Amino acid sequence: MSRLDDIPSSPGKFKIDKSSYFNRLRFQPSLTKFAFISFFLLCLISLLFLRSPPSVNSSQSDPSRRSLRTFTYGGAAWEKRIRASARTRTSVTVLVTGAAGFVGTHVSSALKRRGDGVIGLDNFNDYYDPSLKRARQALLERSGVFIVEGDINDVELLRKLFKIVTFTHVMHLAAQAGVRYAMENPSSYVHSNIAGLVNLLEVCKAANPQPAIVWASSSSVYGLNTKVPFSEKDRTDQPASLYAATKKAGEEIAHTYNHIYGLSLTGLRFFTVYGPWGRPDMAYFFFTKDILKGKSISIFESANHGTVARDFTYIDDIVKGCLGALDTAEKSTGSGGKKRGPAQLRVFNLGNTSPVPVSDLVSILERQLKVKAKRNVIKMPRNGDVPFTHANISLAQREFGYKPTTDLQTGLKKFVRWYLSYYAGEKKAAAR
């Protein structure tokens, strides 16, 4: 008879006779008992070892998982810095995720300037040059904002922060940005924009009191819509990129957490934000770099030589919109994971309401930089881009007086001034 024949055909019939097993054990000599206990302890230790978290600061080689790095945090000095940064002269204390990012830095700085308590959180990933993020961090530190290094997917860290500080608000700006990069690294979008959002909302929902949450959605949710200007009431079910799809998913997830847990949630659909301390992956930024280097730039055109245009929005206008949304956010109604009543759920466009063709953006840069661009006009690749965006901002105007005041010419002038001085400074530092 083979050993397989010992196993009954139905697993339900297979029962270990525990009583006889333990009875047998009881009557063994003490040496056997000792051997058994030692073996048991050894197994337990091995199990604990296998389940222990990865070593601190271990970096992952898979680029899609680069932001899963673990971080060192904790300790009295760390908590002291958090408490100091959270000190408020108003009644508002905000956790800003993505604080070392472009919008995150500007918003954190504005909140701190007006007296709010601000704690930043950022994973400093290498989607673009991390030294720029470090420079933004240094800027914020000088104004008293501490950025905790960590990932929004780290539930323990989030819980710890909520234990140390009573946040009245969360300004959730951490995300995997960029429309075209989604084709290169799709999982990073799922990781940050979906899993990270859910993780954060889970911690917020369980907090007592629950904070009100304002978060970054995107103009890209309008996808292939042709009706302009884009209004919040328009359909958003034809995203052109995975980035857009994850932001749209975020809006649906927000609905769920509002409905079940009473979280107050406000999504802001940003329209191509630009300005000083901006993102190097965005066209206005790398066009500037390439024009100065004498490299050719690709300018996309849509079908039949159509113009590709964007409702470029200056960072200071976006910051005003973020603060307006935060100041009009009502309190969440739940506590400790239980809903106590209906809570606020909002979505706003934050755009400039005047789309500009990309070729005009290049002409403005040429004038500001005093260098002629080497233009290479090509058909827009199928890369997730949409031909145009145009915001209707009447809702944000009505709700919190949102009124953009910076045109592209003025905004780019400020950007170019910053760009030249920032990179001249970097060159000088490198030469030293």
Ligand X SMILES: O=C(O)[C@H]1O[C@H](OP(=O)(O)OP(=O)(O)OC[C@H]2O[C@@H](n3ccc(=O)[nH]c3=O)[C@H](O)[C@@H]2O)[C@H](O)[C@@H](O)[C@H]1O
Q: At what angle do helices 408-431 and 283-293 cross, to 10 degrees?
A: 60
Q: Which two tokens stand for residue 109?
A: 């700085």
Residue 353: exposure state from Cβ atoms within 10 A (0-12, 13-18, ≥19): middle
State the nearest-atom distance from the C-beta of 385 to ligand X, in Å.
4
Quick check: is 243 catalytic? yes
Q: Is 152 in the site for ligand X (CB under 6 A)?
A: no
- Among 402, 408, 398, which residue's Cα sits nearest to residue 364? 408
Q: Is 354 in the site for ligand X (CB under 6 A)?
A: no
Residue 420: exposure state from Cβ atoms within 10 A (0-12, 13-18, ≥19): middle
Nearer to ligand X, 276 or 334 (CB): 276
- CA 351, CA 318: separation in Å to the nearest integer? 8
Q: Is 127 in the site for ligand X (CB under 6 A)?
A: no
Q: Is 283 in the site for ligand X (CB under 6 A)?
A: yes
User: Looking at beta carbons, which residue is closest to ligand X?
Assistant: 218
Nearer to ligand X, 211 or 278 (CB): 278
Q: Is 214 in the site for ligand X (CB under 6 A)?
A: no
Angle at 37 between CA 35 and CA 42, to 5 degrees: 95
User: Which span sits near ligand X by CB under 6 A: 76-84, 112-120, 145-153, 175-183?
Assistant: 175-183
Q: What is the 3-state secondary structure (H, E, C) of 294-340?
A: CCEEEEEEEHHHECCEECCEEHHHHHHHHHHHHHCCCCCCCECCECC
Residue 360: exposure state from Cβ atoms within 10 A (0-12, 13-18, ≥19): middle
Q: Is 179 in the site for ligand X (CB under 6 A)?
A: yes
State the nearest-atom distance from the C-beta of 218 to ligand X, in Å.
3
3-state secondary structure of 99: coil
| Contact pattern for ligand X over residues 254 through 273, marking x by CB under 6 A | ----------------xxx-
| Contact pattern for ligand X over residues 360 through 389, marking x by CB under 6 A | -------------------------x----
State the nearest-atom distance from the C-beta of 178 to ligand X, in Å.
5
DSSP β-ladder status, 93-97 and 117-122 = parallel
Task: Identify the active-site residue in 127, 128, 222, 243.
Answer: 243
Q: Which of residues 220-249 bind ligand X (CB under 6 A)?
A: 220
Q: How many residues bind ligand X (CB under 6 A)?
A: 19
Q: Is 310 in the site for ligand X (CB under 6 A)?
A: yes
Whether the link from the prior residue into 130 is cis, omega within 30° of 0, is no
Catalytic residue numbers, as ranges: 243
Q: Which residues bind ligand X (CB under 6 A)?
A: 177-179, 218-220, 270-272, 282-284, 298-300, 308, 310, 358, 385
